[in-house]
Chain A
Amino acid sequence: MSLSDKLFILFGGICALLGIASVIGFALSRKVTSENGRATVENLNARIKAWWVMVAIFAVSFGLGRGVTVVLFALTSFYTLREFISLMPTRGADHLPLVAAFYVLLPLQYWLIWIDWYALFTILIPVYGFLLLPSLAALKGDPEEFLLRVSRIQWGLMLTVYCISHAPALLTLDIPGRPREGFLLLFFLITIAQFSDVMQYVFGKLFGRTKVAPVVSPSKTVEGLVGGGLAAVAAGAGLWWITPFTPLEAAAMALAIVAMGFLGGLSLSAVKRSMGVKDWGTMISGHGGVLDRMDSLSFAAPVFFHLTRYFYT
């Protein structure tokens, strides 16, 4: 089976799943009567609709190739970094480091991925960004909360640019005997991370009782985590045929993605709580901001990238 055949089947499968979800959503909207239930179902249907759009965007960019896919992730980083910085208090002296973050480091990171300069893209932000940002902030001579301000920008860059960029970096991996199959690895990563989120939400809504971290994230439950996580691991094992992994290895990889995704969602919930907000933004209706959808992927991408690179290339 050729790469495009596989992608065709995969996106077809996703569309079938979304089709079923849309039908269920429609049926629920007919059945539900209580005020509270209606709000939940409305939010569910808004989420499903947004999923259609997001899947379409990914399908088109995959179809158009590596360049467009890298640009799509660069834009994702741009919007998530914008959401992150917008919620953080910044001062006038942060302007120069922010210019560097948005207009220099972000494009540079994705350019390095485009030209496949592994040795540099893995240290650009953790090392050179780390040195550059405080220097630029200090040049402005405003010591008020200096460490806090510089750390926020560095953290935002690590999360939204550095970590997320490891997803399209999968396209640069050379797996022996499997040319150009980075798209399938990327599909695997995104699908498992998002499917895990969705299933945790579904299991949590249906069976959720025991809260994992009530203060940080009231919506995360043990039942949701276990049920959703197992469903995602099963889905990962079922997708072994598009990966260089055996079914068991694929399940283990999916488990790593689920675990990191969960930790990402939890950590970013803690950040949101500390800022006193519920969502990162309003760009994707029903879901909140872009970062609300990317939090799990952001934590999972570097780990999945390194596991794959270390064991399979």
Chain B
Amino acid sequence: MIDLVLIGLTRFIVGGQAHWIGASPDTRQRIYFANHASHLDTLLIWSALPRLLRGSTHPIAAADYWGKGKVRRHIALKVLNAVLVDRATQGPPGAALAPLRGVLAEGESLVLFPEGTRGNERLPGPFKSGLYWLSQEFPEVELIPTYLDNPSRAFPKGTFLPVPISCTVRFGAPLLRRAGEEKDEFLERARAAVGALASDPVA
């Protein structure tokens, strides 16, 4: 019930049409990695996925936003099936990835925002290394570059109400792993794959 209301609201305010450009919707295990522009991003990708995939796909959401307040927390955990990650986690490198590994180990899919923080630019900023470690540990999982068009205009950083501007979600062709590729090389290639899905800026 809440999920239908959320999808309806998302469609009404920002549209969120899905464009499957290089991949088709599939139940195969995947990591969707996307540019991060607004708090709408999680909702956008989740509502762009077909119903069948929504149940087994878990967006990674920042605990300091989605974990706050009873309602938001309930929506994140129970409706969006999100995995809350504490961005301030200290400790050995990769420690914050533990809950993500758990999801992948169970055979479910993930939605990841490797920039780690929201940006205002059309093209994504540098990626953090989590995507690389996960792609190494789970070589069978398909890596789908995903581009979100416009959410930074609809819901810019520092505002509290999204305005109606149409956003689209574009899913690209799976990123192939190359044997012996260095971490930074891989991350740069992943970032370029997301950026390549951005259309020409208007005017």
Contacts and interface: CB of A to CB of B under 8 A. Distances in A.
A274 B202 CA distance: 10
A212 interface: no
Interface in B42-97: none
A86 B150 contact: yes
B202 A275 contact: yes
Contacts of B158: 92
B163 A275 contact: no
Secondary structure of the A contact surface, majority rule: helix
B203 interface: yes
A86 B165 contact: yes
Secondary structure of the B contact surface, majority rule: loop
A90 to B, nearest CB: 5
A276 interface: yes
Chain A CB within 10 Å — which of B150, B159, B202 has the most? Answer: B202
B17 A95 contact: no
Interface string B166-203: 10000000000000000000000000000000000111
Contacts of B157: 92
- Interface size, B (range): 10 to 19
Contacts of A276: 202-203
- Interface size, A (range): 20 to 34
A82 B156 contact: no
B119 interface: no
B163 A87 contact: no
Contacts of A102: 163-164
A246 interface: no
A81 interface: yes
Given A82-B166, A83-B166, A99 B201 contact: no
A263 B17 CA distance: 32
B120 interface: yes
